[in-house]
Structure 1
């Protein structure tokens, strides 16, 4: 008797969501005034990047949830086959 078992490897992998670095804010007021435009841009970039980071986390959570649902169904099918034999 020959039994062939096939395992389907999933290629779907989660996305790595990287949190943006926190913008630097000098301690001294003179430096804040002198570099105001650069600091403002750094904060604006951070705000845009952190919003993208939150979207990435939301998308990854949804993807992982769907994957877990599918794995749970696969496990249920596996258990049914084992129980029937």
Structure 2
């Protein structure tokens, strides 16, 4: 039973389309605070830029998946309509 649940989750289209954007880095308004935490802030920005690239890739993959799905559904609909006229 566990194997079935795992396989059904892995193949679930809803999971494939869940691209979550990374949170924007926080920048303090106070220049003194920004200077004090400069290394942490720099690291946060580097993580953001890395993660936003992953997000863009996810969106590209989801767009391709959705396009393929729409094509398949369109073909299925055509077959369905064709079967009504027989």
Query: What's the TM-score once normalised by structure 2's chain length?
Result: 0.82
Residue 63 (str. 1) matches residue 61 (str. 2):
no
- Tell me the residue number matched to 1:46: 48
Structure 1 segments unaligned to the other structure (5+ residues): 1-10
Over aligned residues, Cα RMSD in angstroms? 1.0
Q: Which has the larger radius of gyration?
A: 1
How many residues are matched?
Answer: 74
Matched residue of 1:71: which SS? helix
Q: Moved runs in structure 1, 4+ residues, more than 4 A?
A: none
Q: Distance in 1 between matches of 2:71 and 2:12?
A: 14
Query: What's the TM-score once normalised by structure 1's chain length?
Result: 0.83
